[in-house]
């Protein structure tokens, strides 16, 4: 069964018809042509398909497109403001926090989500003090970014980049 949905993707309004079983990832990549989110595992295990959905990071291979009619989607390709990269993107470049780059769009979107979650005071499994503002330690970064795998193993510089992006 098909359904019509409308998404705002990286600032552009897009209407598309999707099968009710279509994932948001397939709707973005095949329906809209937004190829920044990558299909790594298609099983919710790698984080390569992460985008910001209505401001929160979401794994799009586990989301059904029809459930998000009217949503605002920001992919890694939509984070920049014109020629100005998002500070997290700048930090990934400066820290050389990638090798093949396949996981990077998901890493960057996830990192932006992490910084928003920390700023909002959301605790993680490793947050020691639940009474005050969350301190963005390297352990916090590792824990919060643990859903984003990197087959090239660029984890050390990814942590550096997220820390820099927060500044
Ligand atoms: S492709 Fe979605 S988590 Fe791997
Ligand atoms: S840079 Fe290659 S998978 Fe992460």
Token representation of residue 21:
């079983």
Are both 74 and 100 inside the same structural domain? no
Are both 61 and 106 inside the same structural domain? no
pLDDT at residue 108, as a whole number: 98
pLDDT at residue 13, as a whole number: 98
Handedness of CA 116, 120, 123, 127 (dihedral sign): positive
Domain that holds residue 43: 2-78
- Of ligand 2's listed atoms, the one at least distance from the Cα of 99 is 1
Are both 15 and 43 inside the same structural domain? yes
Ligand 2 in reach of 103 Cβ (< 6 A): yes
Q: % helix / strand / coil in the chain, to the nearest 5?
A: 35, 20, 45
42: domain CATH number? Answer: 3.10.20.30
Ligand 1 in reach of 42 Cβ (< 6 A): yes
pLDDT at residue 1, as a whole number: 85
Q: Spell out the residues 6+ positions from residue 71 whose beta carbon is closer than 8 angstroms to its own.
A: 7, 8, 53, 54
CA 148 to ligand 1 center in whole angstroms: 9
Are both 106 and 154 inside the same structural domain? yes
Ligand 2 in reach of 96 Cβ (< 6 A): no
Residue 40 CA from chain centroid, whole number: 13
Are both 104 and 152 inside the same structural domain? yes
Ligand 1 in reach of 40 Cβ (< 6 A): yes
Ligand 2 in reach of 18 Cβ (< 6 A): no
Task: Write out the E strands in the chain.
Answer: 2-9, 12-19, 50-53, 56-59, 72-74
- Of ligand 2's listed atoms, the one at least distance from the Cα of 107 is 4
Strands 72-74 and 2-9: parallel
- Which of 48, 93, 152, 162 has most ligand 2 atoms within 8 Å of its beta carbon, as the pocket-test mutant? 152
Residue 98 CA from chain centroid, whole number: 15
* C-alpha atoms less than 13 angstroms from C-alpha of 111 in its C-beta half-sphere: 31
Are both 159 and 133 inside the same structural domain? yes
Q: Round to whole Å and give the CA distance between 137 and 115.
A: 12
Give the chain's domain count: 2
pLDDT at residue 132, as a whole number: 86
133: domain CATH number? Answer: 1.10.150.120
Are both 92 and 131 inside the same structural domain? yes
Q: Round to whole Å and give the CA distance between 102 and 107.
A: 9
Are both 91 and 25 inside the same structural domain? no
Are both 61 and 125 inside the same structural domain? no
Are both 147 and 105 inside the same structural domain? yes
Ligand 1 in reach of 46 Cβ (< 6 A): yes
Tell me if 43 sits within 8 A of 34, measured CB to CB.
Answer: no
Q: Which of 52, 78, 104 is the last residue of a domain?
A: 78
Are both 135 and 159 inside the same structural domain? yes
* Predicted confidence pLDDT, tens digits, the chain (167 residues): 898 999 999 999 999 999 999 999 999 999 999 999 999 999 999 999 999 999 999 999 999 999 999 999 999 999 999 999 999 999 999 999 999 999 999 999 999 999 999 999 999 999 999 998 999 999 999 999 999 999 999 999 999 999 999 98
């Amino acid at each position: 069964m098909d359904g019509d949905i409308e998404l705002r993707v990286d600032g552009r309004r897009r209407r598309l018809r999707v099968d009710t079983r279509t994932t948001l990832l397939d709707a973005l990549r095949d329906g809209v042509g937004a190829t920044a989110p990558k299909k790594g595992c298609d099983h919710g295990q790698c984080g390569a398909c992460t985008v910001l959905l209505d401001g929160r990071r979401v794994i799009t291979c586990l989301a059904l497109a029809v459930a998000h009619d009217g949503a605002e989607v920001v992919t890694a390709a939509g984070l920049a403001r014109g020629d100005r990269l998002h500070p997290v993107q700048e930090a990934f470049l400066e820290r050389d926090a990638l090798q093949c780059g396949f996981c990077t769009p998901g890493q960057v979107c996830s990192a932006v989500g992490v910084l928003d979650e920390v700023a909002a005071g959301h605790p993680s499994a490793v947050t020691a003090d639940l009474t005050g503002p969350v301190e963005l330690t390297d352990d916090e970064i590792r824990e919060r970014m643990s859903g984003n795998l990197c087959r090239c193993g660029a984890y050390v510089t990814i942590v550096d980049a997220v820390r820099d992006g927060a500044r």
